[in-house]
Structures are given as C-alpha cells and as structure tokens.
Structure 1
Amino acid sequence: MKKIYLSVVCLLISIPLIAQLYVEPEKEVECSVFLAKEGRGRAQQGLEIWDDYIFSCEDGGHVNIYDFKSADPKPVAGFELASSHPDNHVNNVCFGVETKRGASFPLLYITNGKVGSELEWLCFVESITRRGKRFSSEIVQTIELDGSKWAEKGYVPIFGAPSWLVDRERGFIWIFSARKRTVAKVTKHAWENQYVATKFRIPSLSEGAKVRLDENDILDQVVFPYEVWFTQAGCMHDGKIYFCFGVGKQDDSRPSCIRVYDTDRRTITARYNVQEQVIYEPEDIVVKDGVMYVNTNTNAKKTSDLPCIFKLSLPKEKPVAENPLDEIRRDPERAGGVYYVTDLSHPVTPAPKGYTPFYINGYFRHGARQIDDEVTYPAIYGVLEKAHATNNLTDFGKALYERLEPFKKNVFYKEGDLTQIGYRQTREIGRRMVQNYPEVFEGHPYLKTNATNVLRVAATMQSVNSGILSLRPGLEWAEIDNSRSFLTTLNPYGNVCPGRSPLDKYILGKENSWYKKYRSYIDEKLDVDAFFTRLFIDVTQVESEYDKYDLIHRFWLMASLMQCLDRQVPIWDIFTEEEILAWAEIENYKYFAQKGPEPVSHGRSWGLASRTLRHLLDESAEDLVRKRHGINLNFGHDGVLMAILTNLQAGTWAREAGNSKEALRSWKYWDIPMGANLQMIFYQSEGNPDVLVKFMLNEKDLRLPLEAVEASYYKWNEVYKFYIEHCDKVEKSLAETLKLSYEDF
C-alpha cells in the first residue's frame, strides 16, 4: 500500500483558535491504510488488539474480529458484548491487566460515551472467552465514576462522557474528558475549555461486582490545554494518552487530529494534524509494536467507502533545535524558565578503564515549588475577584476567573512550599545516585548533607536522603543540617546572608542599570495594555490599584508555575505565542543580569558564587585527605547554581552579553529547572594514583576549560589548582569593586 507523507498541513478552521504557543505539529508522518473492513453492521467505534486478534467494536455493542497478521478485510468472527445496549456507544475499549480464571483474554474495559445516558458514568468490565471460532463475553464488574465532589477537594470537575483508558504498562486507569462538551455549540472558543485526565487504581475483581470511584480515590490529575474539538477516543502508552479528535473530511471545521498528552511531563508532547491523510472519522487508537492503529468510521448513507484502520508512525525524535526560541517551540514549558519541570536523568558515561566512583560532592537546587513570594497569589486573585464583582471582566477574563477561583485552595498560604512533584523528582535524584554509583555507598560511607535555612531547600535535602535510604536503608548520616549560617557559602545572594554588603543588595534591586534595561525590554517587546484589555473591560480600574508592569509579571509567574503543581490549571493561553517567546527572552535576561556576566555588574553578579565554588572544592579536598568515600552534598537555589557555572566557565555560561538577545544565545535559564543540580563524581584506581573527577549538570556530563584525561574526566589536582586560583582572582576583584560607588552599576 502506498504511504502518504504529511509535511506541513495548514487548515482553515472556522472555530476560533487562541494564538497560544503549542508544540509544533509532527512532520512527515507515515500514514497508510492497514485494513479496509468488511462486515460492517453499525457505526465503527472502539478498537483493541491482542496478539493476532483485532477487536473492532460497533455502536450498540457488536464486535467484529479481524486477523491482525493477514489484515484480511473479512472478519474471522464476531460476537455481542454482554453490555450491548442502544445507549452503549462502545466509544472506547481497553484490555486490562487482570484475567478472570478460564477466560481467553484480559478483562476488557468498555467506555459507553453517550452524553446524557444513564450509562454515561459507567464502565462495563467484561471477560471474553474463545471456543474455537466462537467468542462470548460476560459482565464481571461495573465501575461507576462519581465526580460530584471533585471541586470540593481542589480537583477540576468534568462535564461527563468519561473515557476509560487502562495503562497496562504501569497498572492504572485514567479517565479522560473535559470541563465542558467539546462540540462547537458548547465550546465556541478554545479558552472556554480544557481537557482533564484523572488517575485511579484499577479495581480488582476481588473488590466486587460493583465499584464506585470518587474524589477520595483520585491518585493524580493533569489538566491539559484545549486546542482541538470533538473528542473521540484513545489509549495509554508509555505514560502518555494518545487521543483522536474530529470527524474527517465530512467537516473541515472538525478536522482529523491526534494529540499525545504526557501525564509525566503534564503537557502536550505531540500534535498530529492529519485531515488530508485520515480522511474518515477517527474513532479510537491502539499503539502496538511502535505503530499507531487508528480506527475510523464512514457513513454508509453518504459513501460506499469501507471504514478503515489506518497505520501511522509514532512521534519521531526531533533534530537539535537551531536556537533557544526553537527549543521553546519544541517544548513550550521551557518558557517557564526556572519553573521548568523536566526529566533530569541521563545515561552514565563509562569511566576510564580501571577507575571506579567513590565520592560525590555537589550543589543541588530545590525541587518543584510554589511561587516563592507573598504577593503574586493575592495580587492575581485580588484583581480578578474585584473585576468579577464589578462586572469588569471580558468573556476571556471570565473564563480565566472560572478556572482559577476554585483552584485558590491549591495555592493560598503555600508560598514557596515544595510540591509533591518536587518531592518525587528529588527523591528520584537520590535513588539514581545509588543506582548509578553503587560503589560510593558500599560499606560504611561518610554521608553529609547541608542546606540553607529555607524550608523547601531543607525538604529537598531530606527528600534526596530518603531516595538514598530507600535503596540503602541501613546507612547512617554523619551530618544532616540546615542553617542560616550556611548562607555565606551556599547562598551569598540571600537577603539574610550574614555579612552581605549593601552594594550587593543594591545590585539586585531596581535602581541600577540592568533593571532599567530589563524594563526597556518589556516596553519594546510587549504590548502591556493589549494584555490587560484581553482580560478587563475598563483597564483604568486595574491601573488605579496595581502597577501594571508588576501585575503582568505576576500573571507570567502564575502561568510558568502551573507545571510545578500536583493539581494544575494551565493558563499559558492568557499570552499569545509572540508574548510567550518575548517573556522568555526578557526573564532570561533578568537572571543573566543578576547572576551572570552582564558587564554593568562589574563581575559582582556572578563573582559572589566563587565563595560557593571554593566551598565545594575545599570540602572535597578535605574529605579526600581524610580518605573518605561517600557523599557531601549542598542544597540551595537556582541563581547560585547559575553563577557557579559562570565561575566554572563551562560552555557559554561565562560569555558576556550586553542585551537580551545576546544573553539568550549565552544563557538559557530553563537549563536550571526545578531540581537542577551540579554533581562532582570522584573516581579512583588501584593502578593509578591520580584521582579523576567529572562534573555533571542535571546528570549530564559537563565540559570544563581544562584538558580532559578522557571524555569529561579530569585530574582532580589540576581541577582544584585551576579553580582555586580562579576563586582567588575573583575575590580580589570583589574587594576592588566593593570600593565603587552605586552610580557605577
């Protein structure tokens, strides 16, 4: 069969779309007809494949079975589901993980999918038996979904029509739906709606014939942006929801689309616009052996075309982005910068022959957290609530208010707190440390962890420790401590750092040159008034109480933050694509100016972290003199880590830049995401006296401006000598610049 390749498809859709930044659509998608099905009785719906059997379901409950190997268009068998009913749309079917004794297949979970039916909130679980060419099924369990009190617990409620998706690989079941119906009559604009995925356990048969799942059974919930209409069905694969939308060629306002929703990264990771390829109404998806199989339906009254199962390629790995803004286009959550949440794990590079790891030192940023000030949440809720009370919200503003108002309980009084995502990601850092470098933890290792006095940092330290203990429960720490006294080395930029100079406080403030440049970039690249007229009818009422520059920044923080929260409501769509890219550049410059080689700071912005680098070097040297093996870890903050990298002169972190565009070519503040860390792994050899060290940023090897022994492995004595001399020079410069007047900055 000839394959069809999708290059770039531009569709004119009558439904209004928000110009928010989404991951770019898949290109060169391989698409072909796998099977043109004969034997149709009613409308084609759910699809499932097990071994060599294709289960193609029809509205009402009939199932045709086709041979997967031969792809013969004629069914080899057929049967009626035990749950057959005029209202059973059989919108989606998924095999589970449990098999009833005597059955031929795992349990089958059946989504009814008919809005307004008495069956709407029910999932029928059926056991299928095969006797030769005869198939039959029985209902062994009925699961009822109760969403009536989700909002009371801080979860986003759904309108109905839950699609039950079994994650066989991980052993959970996800409910996929939306806040409102996904038809144009109900959802006229994308900003009126959002897709909602909610995670539950898979009820076992031992729980009985009837099971009810409610707000107390929710294990997780992820809310995704809404940018495509008319929900169909899908499946789970590798922690991702593959879901299809639209009605094919019969209506260009509802084109055939597929979206891939990543429940781990909590974002859309792939978008397929396949109107020219999947020309019939897409109904359901199965992922098998690295391929997507998409079931479709045709209207027998309008066409003689047979309903087909299409075969599509999975998302392909993208080539390296050409520039930082393209990185954001590939992965829009990067725009959140230091709020970015991503997978920090990377494969371990092989050590030089004969060398084994024995000691780890490093600097670790805290994990995902809430916004760390006491102004942002009250400001955003305050301005929206007052505008709502005075009828000063646009329709778009009302939609934003409706999203955020019930969400208030998930953020208020939690400023700066580590979230559960933060706990999980930092616990995994500890676990990977043991898994990747088990020799470090053998015998009776020396274990020391210190943190700044900030609660989320101390909690991160304990979380990393717990990850280590989960794999080595018998270990005992020599020291676990968090203290303000550590700030002089672990956060010399801190407001309460002992001995902090007034000049350094001034440099981070709003009276100096870098901040004036920062404000000029906001005026140059953003239309602040256009943003507020998007939300408020009379902007003057807002301006009378708030600094509009400060307030728009608060909204930017809130949009960036959502990826860090366990319960979230995405609000990126309050900004256009152009605004998101502009904000990323502007905010990146702020961090560059405060902690990087912006010339106006005369080296003080990044120079203070030479104290932190010296601390890491000296305590490593002392531990080595004492012949210790184990860990000596330090926990702090993003800006310090950025400045350490500048002192290390790694990559382009030390490259000077005089404006925001140049800074973005040198720095990418999303490279210091939540949970970012700098690890120094030390290696020794029985046959060689030289201790080697490799530096890793976010568990990926880091190149230093020194000659390596091999790959990214350096002689420790050369590393220590080079950077101690560097720290001496920097601290001498800090003493000199301390004599400058404020007007010089």
Structure 2
Amino acid sequence: MKLQNYIITATMLLASLPSLGQTTRQEMTDDVYKTAGVYYAYPISEQQTQTQAPKGYKPFYISHYGRHGSRYLISDKDYKWVIDLFREAQQQNALTELGNDVLKRLELLWQEVEGHGSDLTPLGVRQHQGIAERMYYAFPEVFTDNKKISARSTIVLRCAMSMVAFGDKLKELNPKLIISYEASPKYMDYLNYHSDESNLFTSDKTGPWVEEYRKFEIEHTQPQRLTNSLFKDADFIRKYVNPHNLMWGLYWIASGMQDVETKTSFYDLFEENELFDLWQCINYRFYVCNANHADGKGIVVANAKSLLKNILDSAEEAINDPSIASTLRFGHDGNVIPLAAILHLNDCNVSVSKPEDVYKVWSDYKIVPMAGNIQIIFYKKNNSNENILVKFLLNEQEAKIPLETNTFPYYKWEEVKQYYKQLLMQ
C-alpha cells in the first residue's frame, strides 16, 4: 500500500509540472513580458515549495549551472540607431504625436543605458542574490561552516559579475564558507563549448534552416501599421525607414525594458498578435541554434557533453570529499538550453523541425529567462555514500527526467549517473 501511494503521488506531481510547450496566445496576452523570450526577467513569483525528501535523507551537495542575470541589450548600437532615426524624424517634423512621445521615452532610457551595452543590470545582480539566498535557506545542511564552494564563470564580464553576486550573498549568509572564484579560458571548453560542426549548422549563413526561417520571419513581421503610427511623412519613411528593421529594433527595446531600472514601457506600440508573431520567430531561432532541432540530428545538444561530464566528475569528487558544498557555474542561454536538453529535463530535448510547430512544444522563456538555472541537489542518508538520491530543479522548480522513480522528484544517483554516462557515449 505504501509503494502504491508513492506511485500515485509521483504521478500527480508529474502531471502538475509546468509544460515547456503548449504556449498559447492567451498566455502571452496574460503576461506580455513573456513575449520577450530570453529577455524575460526571472519569474520569482513562480517558485514552488520543495517536496520533502524521503525519511532520513539530508542534502549535502549542490551542482549548479546558471545563466547570467538580466542585462542591457547586447550593444549600445541596438538603442542608438533607433534613437537617431527618431531624432532625425523629429528634426524633419516627420513624427506623429505618438512618435514624439516614443522619442521622449527613448531619450529617458538612453540616460541609463548609454555605455552599458551587454552589461549586467542592477536587476541581474538582485536576481542572483535572490537565487543564492533561496538556495541557502532551502538546503541549509549544505552550507555549513568551512564548507568549500567552487564558483566558475565564462570570461564574459556579466557572467563573472553574476557569479560574484551569487557567491557574495552566500558568504554574507555564512561568512565561514570558503568560496573560490574563477573566470578563465581554462574552463571554457565545458562552460561554453560549441563544436565547429554545430557552428556550421547554427550559422545564419550556412545553416540548412536559414531560407525556411527567412520566409517565416517575413510572414510574421508585419510592420506597416506600427510604422505609420510613428511617422506621418511618407517621403521620410521612403527615404529613411526600413519598416522591418524598425519593428524588430523596437521589439528588442520593448523586451529589454523589464531588465533595466528605467520605469517606462514600449509595449503600447504593439498589438498582441504582433508581439506573439515576433516572439515565435525568436523562439524558433533560439530553438534551432541551441536545442534539439530535428534537422540538427543532435549536434547542437552534443555541445553540452563536456559540461555534463564535468557535472558527473564534480559530483563524484564531492561525494568522496565531505568538505565540498557546491559547484557553481555561470554562463549563457546557449549553454543552459543544450544542458537542459541533454539532461532531458521536462522534455527539453523535444525534436521538431517546422518553425510553426516550435512554440507548441518548446518555449525559450520557460527554460532560459534572465538568470535561468539548473540545480541538482544531492542527498545522503545517515551520512552514507550508499543509495544517494538526487533531484533536479529547473529555475528552482522541481523537474522530471525519463527515469522511473517511486519517490519523485527524487531519483537514485547510481541510476542517474549510468543513464547520463550512456548518453555521453552516443
């Protein structure tokens, strides 16, 4: 009867897990911020409580990989060319009333963002501090006095700053933790690996998906209404405005507003269907370039093999060395996505090819919002290395993998380890 209750409970929990697919227009309408895709700010409100571990089991080690926190757009130019266009239009009296208002908002935003292209924002710092604090209080047995933590990031500054924000919060909560920080090319072969073969596939010049995507983007980018709402002079539009590029430029600025401190918005410029269509395009781009697109035949997901090996090796080291509390790794969306896929978390390895099908089964913002992360929590019973259990968290929510267990979300480490070792051999 007890086993039957475990199975029933596990089935109910699996059914309640958040779906990574089946995104609908209504979901985007209910929360317009989700149309930002990978610019979606970390959704703190969606955290869930931890399922109690089986009797006698206590956490002792955490393996982690996290995306950097919220950032500004990747370059100052992503803001500046749009601002310059509106400034020129204002000088030529070519802006509508709405267009003049948009320029005022852009000028306000520029005061914050100028010189910060690709930098971590203050919100990005707070996100990692919050994740670290929740981790500390959810698994206090891990972070006891004099325990060691290895923290490594890619050599990109926003990742290193995310790492420090995270580690310093842990150190604030327990000053006796011993944390080593490293951001070095030495570790890039697993923190941010991309094979030559995968680069050929994901390239927007050599990728076999490019022409199909080009047509898909044209079909889903309808800029005339937006352009005419902002510019009143047809001659100015003809001479200076690329409506397609303008729509995308404003989309990215609108999407990134939730990640910065300036309190204004540009979502009023778009209709709901326009945002949904633009998001479909970028969702597909991130899927084909980072996940398990059918035509890629696994070569993109294979980029995460060296990271998975590091996770397995680091776990074995921690199991045999009780002084190790955690291994923290910090990188990018293009690392978290293939890792989630190779781990088979919540069906993140789903494989389709048609652009119009992707949003039905896979959604970027559900996997890699800003500061998106994967955690593997290790548990021992009676401080024994026998029968170790693990559970997986995707953005701090309990996740499933395709192994049987009657104590979900907890899986037997030996079975998990063997499963992933077999994947590494494929």
TM-score by length of 2: 0.89
The answer (yes or no) to whether the contact 2:144–2:177 under 8 Å persists in 1 is no
CA deviation after TM superposition for structure 1 residue 419, in Å: 1.2
Counterpart residue number, 1:721: 418
CA distance 1:510–1:536, shift in 2 (3 Å): farther
Task: Give unpaired runs (5+ residues) of structure 1.
Answer: 1-318, 494-499, 730-745
1:484, distance to aligned residue in structure 2 (A)? 2.8
Question: Is structure 2 residue 184 aligned with structure 1 residue 489?
Answer: no
Is the contact made by 2:155 and 2:184 (CA closer than 8 Å) also made in structure 1?
A: yes
Letter in 2 for 1:487: M
The one-letter code matched in structure 1 to 2:145 is: G
Distance in structure 2 (CA, Å) of the matches to 1:472 and 1:662: 47
Determine if contact 2:146/2:323 at 8 Å carries over to the other structure: no
- Larger Cα-atom Rg: 1
- Rounded Cα–Cα distance in structure 2 between residues aligned with 1:413 and 1:361: 35
SS at match of 1:568: coil
- Equivalent residue in structure 2 for 1:532, among 227, 232, 257: 227
Q: How far off its partner does 1:428 sit?
A: 1.2
Distance 2:421 2:235 in 1: 56
Separation of aligned partners in 1, 2:123 and 2:364: 20
Return the match for 2:110 from 400, 403, 408: 408
Cα root mean square deviation, aligned: 2.3
1:608 match: secondary structure: helix
Which residue, out of 47, 54, 60, partners 1:352?
A: 54
CA distance in 2, matches of 1:455, 1:591: 22
Deviation per CA, 1:159-187: give whole Å up to 9, x if none.
Answer: xxxxxxxxxxxxxxxxxxxxxxxxxxxxx
Q: What does residue range 568-583 of structure 1 map to in structure 2 within 5 Å?
A: 568-583=263-278
- Paired with 2:245 and 2:310, the residues of 1 have a C-alpha distance of 36
User: In the alignment, does 2:371 pair up with 1:670?
Assistant: no
Query: Aligned residue for 1:683?
Result: 379
Bigger shift: 322-331 or 633-642?
Answer: 322-331
Give the CA deviation at 1:335.
0.9
SS for the counterpart of 1:695 is strand
User: In the alignment, which of 491, 501, 513 is matched to residue 208 of structure 2?
Assistant: 513
Aligned to 2:252: 557
1:373 matched residue in structure 2: 75
Structure possessing the higher relative contact order (Cα contacts under 8 Å, 6 or more residues apart):
2
Contact 1:367/1:418 (CA < 8 Å) preserved in 2? Answer: yes
Name the counterpart of 1:225.
Answer: none
Change (3 A) 1:611 1:322: closer
Deviations for 1:612-646, whole angstroms, at most 9, x for unmatched residues?
A: 22222222222223344401110011121111111
What is the rounded CA distance, in whole Å, between the counterparts of 1:508 and 1:707 in structure 2?
38
Q: Secondary structure at the match of 1:513?
A: coil
CA apart distance, 1:458:
0.6
Instruction: State whether residues 609 and 640 of structure 1, in contact with CA within 8 Å, keep that contact through their aligned partners in structure 2.
Output: yes
Deviations 1:452-505 (A, max 9, x none): 01111111101111211221122222x211123322211114xxxxxx527615
User: Contact 2:124–2:259 at 8 Å: present in 1 too?
Assistant: yes
- Cα pair 1:383 1:542 within 8 Å, conserved: no
Is residue 677–residue 697 contact of structure 1 (8 Å, CA) maintained in 2? Answer: yes
Amino acid at match of 1:460: S
Gaps of 5+ in 2: 1-17
| Number of equivalent positions | 404
Look up the match of 2:87: 385
Distance, in Å, in 2 between the alignment partners of 1:327 and 1:548 is: 27
- What secondary structure sits across from 1:721 in the alignment? helix
2:286 corresponding residue in structure 1:
591
1:637 aligns with 2:339: no
Residue 588 of structure 1, CA deviation: 0.9
- Cα deviation, residue 439, structure 1: 0.5
Distance change in 2, residues 1:721/1:421 (3 Å): same
Given that 2:200 and 2:207 are in contact with CA atoms closer than 8 Å, whether structure 1 keeps it comes out as no
Q: Higher helix proportion, which one? A: 2
Contact 1:359 1:628 in 2 (8 A): no
Could you tell me how far apart the structure 2 residues matched to 1:538 and 1:616 are?
58
Alpha carbons of structure 1 residues 574 and 508: separation in structure 2 relative to 1, 3 Å: same
Cα offset, 1:694, TM superposition: 0.6
Indicate conservation of the 8 Å contact 1:404/1:569, yes or no: no
